[in-house]
Amino acid sequence: MRWKRFCATLGVGALVGTAQAASCGMFGLTVNTPFVLGAVEKKVGCSFTATRWFVDWKRPFPAYAALQFFKTPGRQLELSWQPRIRLGDEKYKGVTYRSIAGGNHDAYIRAFARSVRATGRTVSITFAPEMNGDWGEYQLSAKNTPKDFKRAWVHLHRIFREEKARVRWVWSPNIIYPTMKSSYRELYPGDAYVDEVGLDGYNWGTTNPWNRWKTFAQTFDQSYREVKKITGKPMQLGELSSVEKGGNKAAWIRDMCRLLPKYSRIRRVFWFHITDRNVDWRLTTSQGALDAFKDCVRKRS
């Protein structure tokens, strides 16, 4: 009902976006609400065929918003399904992989799967994005092991198959970082249960004391090579962005554009168009960044 009220308030056009614009090619957009699409697409001058947004645990599949979204021909929806329950403003409780694998949430999962099936469309689902991290409510711990994660993934896959929901399963860890508690191989559910793999990675620049400016290659090279070692599945960059602080964001985007063809397994790139905890990752942080992205779309489309 919340999605339906938003659609009614903002109008279908805010959600459907620029239906007549040319496609942004391999580029998609990660947003915290689909209702920003129209405004962003007007600025970049193209239509983001593939779009990702987030759904927390115990929240129903946003069926009404999805159906409005699909009214634009060619739209592809990807959901980041996060096993965490919202308690209040920026407060969450994690849902353990063990409880998911053990069947404690089957009624919710089946209802979610049936809602996906009812759209009549294929939806990509990234379950527990950045599961290899150590900063979120559902990430690895003594009670949330890599083995538990894989069992939960397989359990979800089985239920959606039983419910005949059309889903592409996307496994998307964070890029490798120094204190990572598990290897990619230990967390990978197996090719039988995964349709696409991804990576989430950011250039934080100098927005905090423990980071420095990193190029596109410095951000993704090592992780890309490691993922290639464990699977031949097609790849995406599920969350990607750069800040302005500490370097030149426009130059970073131009460098990304120049290097992308060398990463031959990457079929899709989702720019993280969100301001998160006072860090502005959006495409529109400067005219220079926006112009660089628009030029990249022209070159890669």
pLDDT in tens, 119-176: 999 999 999 999 999 999 999 998 899 999 999 999 999 999 999 999 999 999 999 9
Distances (CA, A) of 80 to 18, 130, 214: 23, 10, 25
Nearest to 34 by CA among 22, 47, 48, 51: 51
Is the pLDDT at 3 greater than 70, yes or no? no
Residue 131 CB partners (closer than 8 Å, separation 6+): 138, 139, 140, 149, 173, 187
Is the pLDDT at 113 greater than 70, yes or no? yes
Section 288-293 average pLDDT? 98
> Which one is catalytic: 41, 78, 196, 239?
239
Radius of gyration of the chain (CA): 19
DSSP 46: S
Say how far residue 66 (Cα) sits from the centre of its chain.
16
78 is known as an active-site residue = no
- Give the helix ranges, DSSP H, for the chain: 2-10, 12-16, 37-44, 63-69, 97-101, 106-119, 146-162, 184-187, 216-230, 249-259, 287-300
Cβ–Cβ < 8 Å for 266, 237: yes
DSSP 233: S
Phi first, then psi: what are they for 75, rounded to 5°? -65, 140
Cβ–Cβ < 8 Å for 87, 62: no
163 is known as an active-site residue = no
60-101 pLDDT per residue, tens: 999 999 999 999 889 999 999 999 999 988 789 999 999 999
271-281 pLDDT per residue, tens: 999 999 899 99
- Note the pTM of the prediction, 2 decimals: 0.93
CATH code at position 239: 3.20.20.80
> CA-to-CA distance for 69 and 199, rounded, in angstroms?
25
Higher pLDDT, 18 or 292: 292
Cβ–Cβ < 8 Å for 34, 53: yes
Phi first, then psi: what are they for 237, rounded to 5°? -105, 105
Which domain, by its residues, includes 48?
2-300
> CA-to-CA distance for 145 and 160, rounded, in angstroms?
23
- Range from 9-13, 136-140, 219-223, 296-300 carrying the lowest mean pLDDT: 9-13
pLDDT of residue 20: 59
How confident is residue 5, by pLDDT bands cut at 50, 70 and 90? very low
The token duo for 145 is 């092991």
Is the pLDDT at 1 greater than 90, yes or no? no
Decide: helix, strand or coil at residue 77.
strand
Name the domain count of the chain.
1
> Which one is catalytic: 41, 78, 130, 196?
130
203-257 pLDDT per residue, tens: 999 999 999 999 999 999 999 999 999 999 999 999 999 999 999 999 999 999 9
pLDDT of residue 123: 98
Distances (CA, A) of 190 to 38, 113, 195, 284: 37, 21, 10, 38
